[in-house]
Structure 1
């Protein structure tokens, strides 16, 4: 159990994360779970419900005890690092609000873990995926729909949530599409003719009369298409093509970034197209080897 004061502080922090930072529902749900688990552990560990004052007196020892308890349940280092990040974010906000020193919490080191690099598809494999997607349904319009979605992932570098979040009024797709991404950040994305044509073909075959303020991509029951349906299609496609399990819808976005970087070497522009807040995120996101990047750099900046 956690105290009413601690629960109230947690809820107000989540409200601030949503209002000020535009955190998504998935992120907020994860934050809620992680911070609630932490508060419950501290309450049990110290033998009493924790109000705000006891939270302000947490020590490094308390933090280490929590991390040790988390690792007992076979929690991965990556997952523990995520939980610690949520707890730090909460305490940073709480300390500013309540006026205490959060050093003990904020100085706690996250466990080291090997970051998983994305695995983009080769250009020919990405094209094979697009060509094969339409064959996964008995309904021609569903095949055209799935092809349009996957083409947007690869051709425009959209997140699957961004593609499925498009409304009917967004089509016909313009040459430049305004996308509302993570954190409520807007970005402009060029739309290739292939993507425009794929969406046009889907609309031509779609048997439903789509409302202007309704979803662009719908399921067979007329509701907004879910990411799970596209994930299932990609699973069938990769089995047919003999692709690895990493060939997911998100891998198409990785592939967009990597292939574009290979062609241009312009990491900053790709950062803007992907909607990344940090350039380091874009660097990790792409999978162009160092030798290739150096070759691009040398050609762009020849020695005098």
Structure 2
């Protein structure tokens, strides 16, 4: 431990980020770690006697007292969510330093962990917005160079009627869809490695079948093998994060509902609309928790089991499903 006691915080932050990169986090996550560690570290360096640049700040200067003072200043002009995230970044940093034998212990519990704020839902605004969006996107737009309404409706429907996150949509395979008629489901690789099963109602099933039929016509039957990605671009390549975000944004523009999308929500607004409508239509908090893949209820730490039948009833009550009827086209239910 002592041979690294005087290493600078900047060097150690670099080592920590390199170690984290081996876990293959998103670029956004790595950037957030770097930003949080530098911001608070620079405040500690400014308060040091004498003041130092971060590149010269030794790790032994990161005392509980110095960190408490730095976090107090850091929190002054920032939202609670940002302060909570920064605390988590520094806690992860110190866990790494302890494991590497650089420091003897983690001072972050003495700094005090801010309470994590509950994010407010950001559903689409307007009572009929999901129906307007789906109906508009289902119509081939002559202004598009290569319209593919079946694919676009399938993407929107999976978010609006199954509540999938962006990363979960990208991880879907054709074989993720399963079950016999009346008991169709989609197997989802959820956040934090938590898999879940979401019921698929006949209307959503019809939309997905119509999409896969259109895909087979475009690229051949081999393109819909069970192990192939479910969502692809117009060249048949797996749809990626940027492409999916652009697709959803273009759907909003074509439907003329861009002003009904909360700032910063984009695809997540569809997932929040799914959850909001479930609640409005009578689903319990436990059912919503299970269907969305949340780790726990906000009001309780108790894990509540919900049967598959209860989950299917909750999805069936989601009135957005009715907007999908007729969009799949003839022969999609065969």
TM-score by length of 2: 0.66
Tell me which residue corresponds to 2:73.
68
Specify the SS of the correspondent of 1:30.
helix
- CA distance in 1: counterparts of 2:155 and 2:113, whole angstroms: 41
Match of residue 232, structure 1, among 241, 246, 249: 249
- CA distance in 1: counterparts of 2:257 and 2:108, whole angstroms: 53
Tell me which residue corresponds to 2:304.
none
Aligned positions of 1:123-272 closer than 5 A = 124-135=128-139, 137-138=141-142, 142-170=148-176, 175-206=184-215, 207-209=218-220, 210=223, 212=225, 213-225=227-239, 226-237=243-254, 239-240=256-257, 243-245=260-262, 248-272=266-290
- CA distance in 2: counterparts of 1:160 and 1:208, whole angstroms: 24
Give structure 2 stretches of 5+ with no counterpart: 1-7, 301-334
Change (3 A) 1:224 1:198: same
- CA distance in 2: counterparts of 1:208 and 1:113, whole angstroms: 46
Change (3 A) 1:170 1:10: closer
- CA distance in 1: counterparts of 2:219 and 2:38, whole angstroms: 44
Change (3 A) 1:5 1:155: closer
Q: Deviations over 1:254-284 (max 9, x none)?
A: 12122222333421122111110121189xx
Change (3 A) 1:170 1:59: closer
Specify the SS of the correspondent of 2:135.
helix
Specify the SS of the correspondent of 1:279.
coil
- CA distance in 1: counterparts of 2:44 and 2:10, whole angstroms: 11
Match of residue 35, structure 2, among 15, 33, 42: 33
Tell me which residue corresponds to 2:14.
7
- CA distance in 1: counterparts of 2:118 and 2:16, whole angstroms: 33
Normalized per residue, the structure richer in helix is 1
- CA distance in 2: counterparts of 1:136 and 1:255, whole angstroms: 24
Superposition CA RMSD, Å: 3.8
Aligned-pair CA distance for 1:215: 2.4
- CA distance in 1: counterparts of 2:147 and 2:74, whole angstroms: 52
- CA distance in 1: counterparts of 2:116 and 2:290, whole angstroms: 29
Tell me which residue corresponds to 2:64.
59
- CA distance in 2: counterparts of 1:35 and 1:117, whole angstroms: 29
Specify the SS of the correspondent of 1:178.
strand
Specify the SS of the correspondent of 2:188.
strand
Specify the SS of the correspondent of 1:188.
strand
Aligned-pair CA distance for 1:94: 3.5
Aligned-pair CA distance for 1:187: 0.8
- CA distance in 1: counterparts of 2:207 and 2:288, whole angstroms: 23
Aligned-pair CA distance for 1:39: 4.0
